[in-house]
Chain A
Amino acid sequence: MDRQVMMETARQMVATIDDLPTIPAVATQVLQLLNSPDVNVDEVADLMLTDQVMTARVMKMVNSPVYRPSQEITSLKRALVYLGLRHIKEVALTSSFINAFEDKGGVLEVGPCWEHAFGVGMVAKVIAEKIHYNDLEKAYIGGVIHDIGEVVLSYYRSAEFAAVLEQTRQRPVNLVDVEMATFGTTHAEIGYCIAEKWNFPEAYREAILFHHDPRGASSDPVLCSIINLADLFCSVRELNYGGRSWVSFNLVEEDGWQILKEQFPSLAQLDVERFCYELDDAVPDVKELVSSIFSRQ
């Protein structure tokens, strides 16, 4: 596979989509504000309150069992204080991304699709914690957005994508191989091009591009490996797009696992079995989060 050719194909595909959603202005402003050195919570809250949809999403996400506040948080400012300035970015981006594709339909069902996205975000954060990765929110956001290329395929190339998924449902074939045969590129390259259009920071673009191939990453292979493993684990437990593809893997042979172990040898001691069982236990929390995000109340 020639990555440059695949990338070019993806770029052309994305260029032909004329109604591609755009990132909301408020989200862009929030991200800019968060980058300024003397930012304070009041300013961010004031800005966010101008976007009611974003405010409502942030409140739902903060009160979800994944974040577990000790009592319900009812004001946006308290929510932002609770999250901490570093984490506002993750909810702002995630919330915009959900808005952009909400009600779009497509081949992938909204519920299972976001359960996988948030599941991978959550597991990525857990793995990041275990190896003391320096930026947990980055791991979380990267996890949530890693499959944006699939969301795009699901909506804009639905007939072909449905056929791709059908081929991967019962047989142990790799989704990216079938995508390659069908589109001449994969959801990783397509996701990268979208992230580029949306001006996602480079680290996220790289995470999207290399989440199936962490050895290819140059700036942050550890982040790509974290997301790669989180994706694999979610794909074999119940956060698997409702059983969309039949996935199996031998952990020690996975590049993501090897990269992380090279850098953090203590990971070899991880109780992988218990990790899977705990992941099963967390599935209801993720489902609850997704259903609360998509509820109209």
Chain B
Amino acid sequence: MAISDKDFELLRDFIYNLCGMYFHSTKKYFLESRLTKRMEATGTKSAMDYYTLLKSPRGGEELRFLLDEVTTNETYFFRCVPQLNAIETKFLPEIVESKGKMGFRKLRIWSAASSSGEEAYTLAMMLLEKRATLLKDWIIEIVGTDINETVISQAKEGVYNSYSVRNVPELYKRKYFREEGGKFILSPDVKKFVTFNKLNLYDDTKMVFMKSFDFIFCANVLIYFDLAAKSKVVQHFYNNLQPYGYFFVGQSESLHGVNDKFKTVHFPGGFGYKK
């Protein structure tokens, strides 16, 4: 169902203000198709009816369903290329230099909503490529956490379908995957750098132990939290990040109004946060 530009802007602003996810105008068709599904499920007749539903007391619950629709299939290898480029071009060399000067030769990375592991393993492959040069003799620790045990076992297993690996550069695909019966099996050389654990980001007692990370990633999760919960979790990320470290959210997410300590660092095609 097509929605007018005006209704699109109304919904986009409402969703953005509520959860911090921005729908670019290029994503209008995408939002339309997902909205259509939710409108069928809720029996709403028009975009305006659906908007009214979102604003009603039942709106919070409905927004979760809508977010599920829009974030589904969002997990794949090499998902956010601008972020990866920025890490490779600038942020990683910068951190290696700062830490190297202090005599630390250990890099710690946290994929804080690791799902089936694609993000954590993407980083592992990228860093593995630097083992002979920039990261020679460095210890690499990558931690993936998720609240859902099913996806954690999938991550540990490291077997993927062609959709997940569609963005993997050919060189990486040949080097780090073995194809078998239409499945892509990740090499143990990559798996050994990553550990996966169950973690509820809302669990303060466990969050305080996630210490001293150089990079933290948390995509498509904070949008589900209300402002208070979001602020609390982001404060944990802030505390758990090294002074020179970087924190990244999803490609269309925003932390505006959530935490006034993090500073935005801009790079081609995206931005991250720094202390």
Contact indicator B264/A251 (Cβ below 8 Å)? yes
Q: Choose, from B31-39, B106-114, B144-152, B253-261, the stretch at the interface.
A: B253-261
Residues of chain B within 8 A (CB-CB) of A236 are: 266-271
Q: Mostly helix, strand, loop or mixed at chain B's interface?
A: mixed
Contact A246 B263 (CB under 8 A): no
| B266 pairs with A277, CB closer than 8 A | no
Give the interface centre of B22, B266, B268, B270 by most chain A CB atoms within 10 Å.
B266
Interface string of A225-259 (1 = CB under 8 A from B): 00000001101111010010011111110000000
Q: Which residues of B contact A252 (CB under 8 A)?
A: 263
Interface flag for A274 (CB, 8 Å): yes
Known contacts A250-B274, A251-B263, A271-B256; decide if A172 and B90 are in contact (CB<8 Å). Answer: yes
User: What residues of chain B have their CB less than 8 Å away from a CB belonging to chain A?
Assistant: 16, 22, 24-26, 86, 89-90, 252-257, 263-271, 274
Chain A 273-290 per-residue mask, 1 if CB under 8 angstroms from chain B, else 0: 110110011001000000
Q: How far is the CB of A272 from chain B (nearest CB, A)?
A: 5
Compute how far the CA of A239 lies from the CA of B90 in the bound complex, rounded to whole angstroms: 21
Whether A171 is near chain B, meaning CB under 8 Å from some CB there, is yes
Q: Which of B26, B90, B252, B269 contacts A237 (CB 8 A)?
A: B269
Bound CA span A47–B49, Å: 54
Of B24, B256, B274, the contact of A272 (CB 8 Å cutoff): B256
Sample (9) of A-B pairs whose CB atoms are under 8 Å apart: A232-B266, A236-B270, A238-B269, A240-B268, A248-B90, A250-B274, A271-B254, A272-B256, A273-B254
Q: Which residues of A contact B (CB under 8 A)?
A: 170-172, 232-233, 235-238, 240, 243, 246-252, 271-274, 276-277, 280-281, 284
Please report the C-alpha to C-alpha distance between residue A236 and residue B264 in the assembled complex, in whole angstroms.
13
Knowing A252-B263, A277-B24, the reply to whether A247 touches B268 (Cβ < 8 A) is yes
Contact check: which of A172, A238, A273 meets B271 at CB < 8 Å? A273
> Shortest CB–CB separation between residue B15 and chain A, in angstroms?
12
Instruction: Collect the chain A residues with CB atoms within 8 Å of residue B86's CB.
Output: 248
Contact of B16 among A171, A172, A274 (CB under 8 A): A274
Task: Let me know if B268 and A243 touch, CB within 8 A.
Answer: yes
- Whether A274 lies near B22 (C-beta < 8 A) is yes
Flag if B89 contacts A246 (CB, 8 Å): yes
Most buried by B among A240, A243, A250: A250
Set A238, A248, A273: member contacting B255, Cβ < 8 A: A273
Whole-angstrom distance from the CB of B6 to the nearest CB of chain A? 15
CA–CA, A172 to B265, complex, Å? 13
- A57 vs B114: C-alpha distance in the bound complex, in angstroms? 52
Q: Are A281 and B25 in contact (CB under 8 A)?
A: yes
Q: Are A274 and B256 in contact (CB under 8 A)?
A: yes
